[in-house]
Structures are given as C-alpha cells and as structure tokens.
C-alpha cells in the first residue's frame, strides 16, 4: 500500500520526550510549551504564539481573542473543514459563506463584498492544500469596512504570498492578519500528534487567547472568573515533539515542493486531469498533492479513488461544502444556498499520496496506475 500520508519522527522527538519523562514535566506547565510557542511564532514572523490542544480549538480561541459577540458574522469559504464553522457556532457567531476560485480551491475574494453586512466582524481566509488565498482583496476590504482578519493556515505552514497591496512584498501565511490559527495534527506539515496554535502581533488579543485557553483564570485573582473559557492547553509532551519537528520544517517543505515538481511533470502526460497550480503570486508548500478530474471523462473522484485503492494507492477526497452539511442545515444555516465551484471540486477532486517518505518510484506507480484507470 502506498500511504496517502506518513510521518517523519527521526529528529530530536525521542530525546525531548525523554527529557519530559526524566524531569517529570509532562503537563502544560513544562518548559517546552513556551519554547515551542516562541520558536514557532518566530518561524512565522509574529510576536505571540499561544499553543492549544488542536487546530479547531485554535480557531475558536482566535475568534474569542478578537472579541466577537453573539450575533456577529464571519465570512469564510464554503470549501473548508467544518472546524471553521464550529468555531463560530460555539461562540454564537454566524458563519457566512463565499464560493471558491476553481483554479486554487481557495476562497473567491471577489464574492466577499456582496456578503458584508452591518454584523460582519471578521473575514476568515483558509489557505487550501498549501496554497495561499488571494489576500490583497481581503486587505483592501478589511481596511474599507474595518473588518478583522483571521487566517486559518493549518494547511500552509511556511507558504508565502506576494502582496502588491503591501508594496510587492512576500508575506508568510499566518503573519498576514490580525490573528491566525494553525493545527499540528499528524497529517500537517509539522505535528505534535494533536495540537494547534494561535498567533498574533496584538498584545491584547494574545492575552485574551491565553485566558480562553486556560479557563479564563485571572492572573491577579486566580479563582475569580468574569468570562467562561475552556481547557484548551497543550501538554509539555506535545510541545516537546513540536520543538523537534520545527527543527526540521524547512526540510519538510523542500521535500513537499520537490514532490510537487515531480508530480506536475509526470501528471502533465495524462489527459483529463488538472493539478495544483503554481502561480507567480504564491509560494505554495504543496501540503498535499491535489488533482481534479475533467468532467468530460464522465467519472467522479469517488470511482477513481476506489480503483486506485484496489491497486494499493491511498487517496483522500476533497472537502464537502459547508452548505452541504446536514448538521449545519439543521441549524438553519446555508439552506438552499448555492456554491457551484465548491460542489464541483467536491465531486471531481481528490488528493494523491503526499507523505514525506514517498519515493519517486512510488510516484511513478501512482501516476501509472491513475493513467491506466482513466484510460480504462
């Protein structure tokens, strides 16, 4: 079986975990948590990092930190993980959707303005499969309407975006907004098993995020609570793995980019398939290698994925749109709303094996199998 993903844990992970065990520091009070926060924030280029127990919690914590209130609205793409919507709903905030650009599968920024209402407080761009969102459009809307921006860069750690709005500079994903959130789940660029982080340059947002993560304890009056938080803390064990993973992040990204080059070259020989774009305004990190079938082949992703599985090739489907989630429709959200580009991607897109240990000869097998199955 060629796995869709794999891990690389051969750095200092074991050594740092042993230090946790040997010193007895395993809870969130241990020293690796602060170290991971500081080192990851410095990698992204942001002042504050607040480590939490997963990426979903990071999104909720970031929204809380921005000070959203019951009834506020947050604009996000329809093509994303449900975590983005859940984070809003838990805080009594309404998610509002826009469709995606077909080429990059990231939010279509030109559709945002029509969705802005007096209740809109936040735009939540989600960088998809390693590719940055077209942020310039978001920067100008955020300035025009005084909206906060929360970036979800769970899939784009290390990716960069070339911003004309910011004077033609390359900006790093996670550092382009008021606040950002990421995940260190096992399939992300670097992992802590489960984990996440909130990043911001704003001192007050950082303080609010730290408070929310830790039950809103007050520093000055410990058991006196004026707001309700969560226990979203990251343990020292997780952070120890994170510090070791972060030491290797540049190498991990190089591997992904090289793999993408190899895939692009091989896949260009196949008819009826479209693959990840390489745009001049983006340095994608190709978190996974995504492809989309030409509808003229008259075959949906599901069918092709099942055939690949039979030949031992692991794949994963694309997201289903948030508007197509029964659990959200049950809350009267997005009922009868249409996001055709999201539906198209959900039907025809999937991603190929993209693990850090994948070899070029395995990619050859993946692409040859795909080619045969599409011709059959």
Ligand X SMILES: *Cc1c(COP(=O)(O)O)cnc(C)c1O
The alpha helices in the chain, defined as continuous H runs, are: 13-23, 31-44, 55-65, 83-90, 135-145, 203-213, 236-246, 249-267, 301-310, 326-329, 340-348, 360-375
Euclidean distance between CA atoms 172 and 158, whole angstroms: 7
Euclidean distance between CA atoms 268 and 245, whole angstroms: 33
Euclidean distance between CA atoms 326 and 347, whole angstroms: 17
Q: Which helix (H) or strand (E) holds 292?
A: strand 289-293
342 is a contact residue toward ligand X (CB under 6 A): no
Measured CA distances, 17 to 32, 157, 185, 194 (Å): 10, 23, 18, 15
Contact status, residue 198 vs residue 179, Cβ threshold 8 Å: yes
120 is a contact residue toward ligand X (CB under 6 A): no
Contact status, residue 134 vs residue 110, Cβ threshold 8 Å: no
Q: For the window 127-156, what string marks contact with ligand X as x by the rule CB under 6 A?
A: -------------------------x-xx-
Question: By rule CB under 6 A, what count of residues binds ligand X?
Answer: 13
Measured CA distances, 120 to 68, 116, 321, 351 (Å): 10, 6, 21, 33
Binding test (CB under 6 A) with ligand X, winner from 2, 46, 51, 81: 81
For ligand X, give the closer residue by CB, 139 or 184: 184
For ligand X, give the closer residue by CB, 77 or 370: 77
Binding test (CB under 6 A) with ligand X, winner from 28, 134, 183, 235: 183
Shortest separation between residue 18's beta carbon and ligand X, angstroms: 25
Contacts of 265 (CB under 8 A, 6+ apart): none
Region binding ligand X by CB under 6 A among candidate stretches 76-84, 131-139, 325-333, 334-342: 76-84
Shortest separation between residue 117's beta carbon and ligand X, angstroms: 24
74 is a contact residue toward ligand X (CB under 6 A): no
Contact status, residue 92 vs residue 118, Cβ threshold 8 Å: no
CB-nearest residue to ligand X: 55
For ligand X, give the closer residue by CB, 6 or 368: 6
196 is a contact residue toward ligand X (CB under 6 A): yes
Q: What's the half-sphere exposure (Cβ side, CA atoms, 13 Å) at 104? A: 24
Region binding ligand X by CB under 6 A among candidate stretches 52-60, 168-176, 247-255, 320-328: 52-60
For ligand X, give the closer residue by CB, 37 or 152: 152
Binding test (CB under 6 A) with ligand X, winner from 2, 5, 40, 56: 56
| Beta pairing partners, 329 | none
For ligand X, give the closer residue by CB, 157 or 307: 157
191 is a contact residue toward ligand X (CB under 6 A): no
Binding test (CB under 6 A) with ligand X, winner from 185, 230, 262, 344: 185
Q: Which residues bind ligand X (CB under 6 A)?
A: 54-56, 80-81, 83, 126, 152, 154-155, 183, 185, 196
């Amino acid at each position: 079986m060629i796995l869709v993903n794999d891990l690389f844990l051969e750095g200092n992970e074991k050594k740092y975990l042993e230090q946790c065990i040997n010193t007895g520091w395993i809870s969130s009070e241990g020293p690796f948590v602060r170290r991971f926060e500081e080192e990851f924030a410095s990698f992204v280029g942001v002042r504050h990092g607040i480590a939490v127990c997963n990426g979903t919690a990071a999104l909720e914590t970031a929204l809380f930190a921005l000070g959203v209130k019951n009834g506020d609205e947050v604009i996000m793409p329809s093509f994303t993980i449900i975590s983005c919507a859940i984070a809003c709903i838990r805080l009594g905030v309404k998610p509002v959707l826009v469709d995606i650009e077909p080429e990059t599968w990231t939010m279509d920024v030109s559709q945002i303005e029509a969705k802005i209402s007096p209740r809109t407080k936040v735009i939540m761009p989600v960088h998809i499969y390693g590719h940055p969102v077209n942020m310039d459009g978001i920067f100008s809307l955020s300035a025009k309407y005084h909206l906060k921006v929360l970036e979800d860069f769970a899939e784009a750690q290390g990716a960069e975006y070339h911003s004309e709005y910011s004077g033609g500079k390359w900006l790093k994903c996670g550092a382009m907004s008021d606040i950002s959130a990421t995940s260190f789940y096992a399939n992300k660029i670097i992992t802590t098993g489960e984990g996440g982080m909130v990043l911001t340059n704003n001192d007050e947002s950082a303080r609010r995020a730290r408070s929310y993560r830790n039950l809103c304890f007050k520093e000055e009056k410990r058991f006196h609570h004026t707001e309700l938080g969560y226990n979203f803390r990251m343990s020292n064990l997780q952070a120890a793995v994170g510090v070791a993973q972060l030491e290797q992040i540049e190498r991990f990204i190089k591997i992904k980019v090289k793999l993408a080059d190899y895939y692009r070259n091989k896949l260009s020989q196949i008819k009826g398939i479209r693959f990840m774009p390489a745009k001049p305004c983006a340095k994608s990190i190709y978190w996974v290698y995504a492809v989309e079938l030409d509808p003229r082949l008259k075959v949906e992703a599901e069918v092709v994925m099942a055939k690949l599985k039979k030949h031992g090739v692991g794949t994963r489907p694309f997201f289903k749109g948030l508007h197509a989630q029964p659990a959200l429709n049950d809350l009267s959200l997005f009922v009868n709303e249409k996001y055709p580009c999201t539906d198209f991607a959900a039907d025809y897109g999937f991603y190929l094996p993209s693990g850090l240990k994948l070899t070029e000869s395995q990619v050859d097998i993946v692409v040859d199998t795909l080619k045969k199955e599409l011709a059959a």
